[in-house]
Chains A and B, each alone.
Chain A
Amino acid sequence: MKKYTTEFPGRLMHSFSLPVLIASLFLLFSCAKDEAEPENDFPEIKKGEGVFIVNEGNFQWGNSSLSFYHRESNTMYNGLFKKANGEDLGDIFQSMHIHQDHAYLVLNNSGKIEVIDPESCLRTGTISGLVSPRYFLPVNDQEAYVSDLYGNHLAIVDLEKQEVSGEIPINGWSEALLLAGNKVLATGMESGYVYVIDPANHSLTDSIHAGPGPSAMVKDKNGHVWVLCGGMYDVEEEPLLLQLDVESLEVLQTIALPGDQTLYSRLSVSPDGKTLYFSGQGIYAFSINGSSPEPEILISPEGQVFYGLKADPHTGEIFVSDAVDFVQKGKVMRYTPEGSLIDHMEAMIIPGDFIFY
Chain B
Amino acid sequence: MMRNCLVMMGFVLFFGGNVFAHAPADTLITLEEFDISAPRYRELSTGFSTRRIDTMALKELSHHDLSFLLNRHSGMFIKSYGPGVLATTSMRGGSAGQTAILWNGISLQNPMHNQSDLALLPVFFADEVSIQYGGGSALWGSGAMGGTVSFNNERLIDEGLQMQAGLITSGIGEFTQTLRAQWAGENFSTRLRLLHRDSENRYRFINTSLEGRPEMTQEHAALDQWGLLHEMFFRFGNRHLLDLRWWYQENARNIPPALQQTHTGARQEDEALRISAQWQSNFNRTVFFWRGALLEEKLLYRYSLNQDSLNQDSRSRSGSIIQEVEARWQLPASLLFTAGANFEGVRARSDEYAQSQSRNTLALFASARWEPLPGKLQLKLNGRQAFQENQDIPFAPSIGVSWKALSSIILKANTGRNYRLPSLNDLYWVPGGNPELKPEDGWSQDFSFNYEHPRQKTSAATQNHDNRFLPVKSASITAFHRQISDWIIWLPRNGGMVWTPENVMQVRSYGLESMVEGSWSMDDFSLQYSLWWDHIISKNTKAKSPNDASEGKQLIYVPRNKAGINLRITLNRFSLYYHHQHTGKRYTSSDNSNWLEPYFTGDAGINWNTGFHNRHGLNLFANVVNIWNRQYQEMAGRPMPLRFFQAGINFEFNSINP
Contacts and interface: CB of A to CB of B under 8 A. Distances in A.
Interface of A: 9-10, 13-14, 17-23, 25-27, 29-31, 33-34, 37, 58, 60-63, 85-88, 90-91, 107, 109-112, 128, 131-132, 150-152, 230, 233-234, 262-266, 279-280, 302-307, 322-329, 331, 349-350, 352
Given A91-B261, A152-B310, A328-B593, A17 B549 contact: no
Given A9-B409, A91-B261, A22 B533 contact: yes
Contacts of B409: 9, 13
A151 B636 contact: no
B211 interface: yes
Contacts of A265: 494-497
Contacts of B430: 233-234
Interface in B1-15: 1-2, 5, 8-9, 12-13, 15
Contact of B406 (A10, A151, A234): A10
Contacts of B592: 34
B588 interface: yes
B589 interface: yes
27 contacts: A13-B20, A17-B17, A17-B19, A19-B516, A20-B16, A21-B477, A22-B516, A25-B514, A26-B533, A26-B535, A30-B533, A34-B592, A60-B258, A111-B262, A131-B305, A131-B309, A230-B497, A233-B431, A262-B494, A280-B495, A303-B546, A304-B547, A305-B493, A324-B548, A329-B549, A329-B589, A331-B547
Contacts of B405: 9-10
Contact of B561 (A13, A30, A324): A30
Interface of B: 1-2, 5, 8-9, 12-13, 15-20, 208-212, 258-263, 305-306, 309-310, 312, 405-406, 409, 430-431, 449, 451, 471-472, 475, 477, 489, 491-498, 512, 514, 516, 531, 533, 535, 544-550, 556, 560-561, 563, 584-585, 588-595, 636-637
Given A60-B261, A280-B495, A324 B545 contact: yes
Contacts of B593: 37, 328-329
Contact of A263 (B406, B472, B477, B494): B494
Contact of A324 (B312, B471, B549): B549
A23 B512 CA distance: 12
A20 B409 CA distance: 17
Given A22-B533, A61-B637, A265-B497, A327 B309 contact: no
Nearest to A234: B431
Q: Please provide the 10 A-B residue pairs with the shortest distance between their CB atoms, ordered closest to farther.
A: A19-B16, A62-B260, A328-B591, A60-B258, A23-B12, A88-B209, A91-B260, A265-B495, A233-B431, A263-B494
Given A23-B12, A34-B585, A305-B496, A18 B475 contact: yes
A18 B516 contact: yes
Interface of A is mostly: loop
Contact of A150 (B19, B258, B310, B495): B310
A19 B413 CA distance: 21
A30 B16 CA distance: 20
Contacts of A61: 258, 588, 636-637
Contacts of A132: 305
Given A30-B560, A128-B262, A328 B549 contact: yes
Contacts of B262: 110-112, 128
B492 A326 contact: yes
B496 A29 contact: no
B509 to A, nearest CB: 14
B545 A305 contact: yes
B489 A325 contact: yes
B261 A109 contact: yes
A233 B499 CA distance: 11
Counting chain A CB atoms within 10 Å of each CB, the highest count among B20, B306, B495, B592 belongs to B495
Given A62-B260, A111-B262, A328-B593, A23 B16 contact: yes
A302 B548 CA distance: 13
A198 to B, nearest CB: 25
Contacts of B512: 25
A235 to B, nearest CB: 11
A329 B561 CA distance: 25
Contacts of A131: 305-306, 309-310
A132 B489 CA distance: 27
A58 B406 CA distance: 54
Given A63-B636, A111-B262, A26 B8 contact: yes
Contacts of A107: 260
B558 to A, nearest CB: 13
Contacts of B261: 60, 91, 109-111
B637 A18 contact: no
Given A9-B406, A18-B451, A331-B547, A152 B309 contact: yes
Q: Which has the most chain B C-beta neighbours within 10 Å: A87, A264, A352?
A: A87
Given A18-B472, A263-B498, A328-B549, A88 B309 contact: no
A264 B637 CA distance: 32
A132 B260 CA distance: 13
B577 to A, nearest CB: 21
B261 to A, nearest CB: 6
B443 to A, nearest CB: 24
A329 B553 CA distance: 13
B495 A279 contact: yes
